[in-house]
A and B are shown apart, each in its own frame.
Chain A
Amino acid sequence: MRSTEYKEVKRDFTERGENMDEMDLDLQQMIPDILNGDTARFELIMQRYQRRIFSYCYHMLGHYSEAEDCTQEVFIKTFRKLDQYNLERPFEAWLYAIASNCCIDIIRKRRLSKYFPVLYRSDEHNRPVDQAIEDTYYNEHVLRAMSKLTPEERSLLILRCVEDKDYKEIADIMQQNSSSLRKKFERTAAKFRKYHAHIQGGRPDGSRQPQSRPQNHIS
């Protein structure tokens, strides 16, 4: 009889409607090696997911350097928590959840910095002007409309419209029910459209009214 050998992924339980067996197959082979001391293999995980995590952080934070720092922090935290990773959950969803928490922490600190500038002063003021300009998010209207959303709403919008995740995947990341996420997304999308249209001046051609000083952070 013909035979096939598998080093089979066996999970305790899955809440998802997808067969996860193959999705994380090589990761499941690497994670034990990393935990047993082969740190170098973590680089493979970074190479696989870094671009997406950076993109997510960039859209969440609207700032290149902060997104870069956040991405770094995400992977360091992932490494530190690797022994806590629960195979019930898809690895990518777990990674995005860490990224989401990281970004939300930064956004909260920004808000606090308005009230406690001495405690939370960033070094932005010490940076050369050209670097500050490069750090600026590409689309100011989007940035300002996003600033009207809560961090959770922002995350939902980005996961759906930028990362193209379906509701089941988002449910895994945000650990919420996919039906309620669907409703939340529709409300969030409506909210974003309203603010975006308002910021654009309500002009069909998207041309701008005179703007006040650009905001290069969303908080």
Chain B
Amino acid sequence: MDHDNHNQDLRTIFHNIKVPEADVTKAVMNLLEDKQMNKRVPFFTKYKLSTFAVLASLLLASSAFAATQLITLTNGKGDVVYEEKKFEKSMIPDHTKEKQLRSLKAQGLAQDLLQPGQAAAFYMAGDDTEGELYIRRGPGFGFTDAASLRGELKQSGALILDTLQSKYDFATGSLTYNSDPLTEQNEAELTAQLAQEARKSKEGYAMKSLNVSKESWSMILTYKGEGQTILVQPMRLNEKLTIHLPEESSAETISADGVDMLYSLYPSGSQGIRFIHNIPGSEYHIVYYIEATKGVAKEELLAIAKAYLQ
């Protein structure tokens, strides 16, 4: 938060005002359910595929997932480092309403309590022995110029351009570092420790800061020009990334300068392209995802993608 200290007097005035409690949940839910305001519209026809978002982070279960069509990308060693598959509810069994609420609360706590660049494990206790451990990151670091971001990510293998195709200028950048991965044993020990603390606490949760690795991160960069917007989303990882989509992936595999890329054209007219950049001499690679508004031609999007292969 960019608090300006010279307005602390105003914050004090307002924070001294006691806001009474109110709960309109029942009134709203009764109204929604009684008046059958439920819209039974199939989700897929309403959402732009390009903006579809379903997010949770799961540790890899196993090959128990239904063997549907897989779209994949490999690194320079031939290992699959990216795949797209259709999301099935069976992948996350017992995803109860209470569990979802705890997950939401963990996210809220992370946003309230963590600073940019921080990560923590939150154990959210439920009834009896229920509860889960959530690994959450704080807000990302914001950047308004490419040079500062380049300075932050020196030697990382990431390419941060000032301009794309000489017409789309860097607008904003956001960088979030990932926490160091926990071994299974560490995770089990941490879960046990925090579960005990959470059950004793009034708030029903316990947290512990985690080390953050500058080796692994994700970014969202936006470029703007001529009324169009380009999103560039690189992720520096040393593990496989799996994306779950609401339906079978319609991505088309194309080759550009000898590199396999997944190209998607969305119903809205916007388009996206994803590919792997191998970092020489490193166990890490960068998964690039670039998306462009419909006014950008496919050839131009490909040219932008190729610029990141240098």
Contact = CB atoms under 8 A, between A and B. Distances in A.
Interface stretch (B96-104, B150-158, B192-200, B298-306): B96-104
B51 A88 contact: yes
Most buried by A among B40, B52, B181, B219: B52
Contact of A4 (B59, B100, B220): B59
Nearest to B176: A19
B40 A37 contact: yes
A105 interface: no
Most buried by B among A12, A80, A160: A12
A212 interface: no
Contacts of B79: 1
Interface in B14-38: 14-20, 22-25, 27-29, 31-33, 37-38
A104 interface: no
A114 B100 CA distance: 47
A59 B14 contact: yes
A67 B39 CA distance: 27
Most buried by B among A18, A36, A46, A168: A18
Nearest to B183: A2
A158 B238 CA distance: 43
Given A15-B222, A42-B29, A86 B51 contact: yes
B54 A17 contact: no
B206 interface: no
Contact of B22 (A43, A47, A54, A88): A54
A58 B19 contact: yes
B28 A76 contact: yes
A76 B31 contact: yes
Contacts of A29: 54-56, 100
Contacts of A24: 53, 55
Interface in A58-97: 58-59, 64, 67-68, 71-72, 75-76, 79-80, 82-83, 86-88
Contact of B25 (A26, A27, A47): A47
Q: Which interface class (under 10, 10 to 19, 20 to 34, 35 or more) fits B?
A: 35 or more
For the complex, would chain B's binding face be called helix, strand, loop or mixed by DSSP majority? mixed
Contacts of B137: 19, 22
B204 interface: no
Contact of B57 (A6, A13, A64): A6
A44 B101 contact: yes
B243 A10 contact: yes
A44 B174 contact: no
Interface stretch (B41-49, B159-167, B207-215, B250-258): B41-49
Given A32-B47, A42-B32, A64 B20 contact: yes
A3 interface: yes
Most buried by B among A5, A20, A168: A5
A195 interface: no
B1 A161 contact: no
A214 to B, nearest CB: 16
Contact of A14 (B32, B42, B220): B220
Contact of A1 (B51, B103, B144, B239): B239
A8 B244 contact: yes
B293 A18 contact: no
A18 B174 CA distance: 5
Given A6-B55, A27-B104, 6 more contacts: A17-B144, A29-B54, A44-B97, A48-B108, A67-B22, A160-B7
Interface of B: 1-3, 7, 9-11, 13-20, 22-25, 27-29, 31-33, 37-43, 46-48, 50-61, 79, 81, 87, 91, 97, 100-101, 103-105, 107-108, 110-111, 136-137, 139-144, 171-176, 181, 218-220, 222, 229, 231, 233, 238-244, 246, 268, 270, 289, 291, 293
Interface of A: 1-30, 32, 35-37, 39-44, 46-48, 50, 54-55, 58-59, 64, 67-68, 71-72, 75-76, 79-80, 82-83, 86-88, 137-139, 142, 157-158, 160-162, 164, 166-168, 189, 192-193, 196
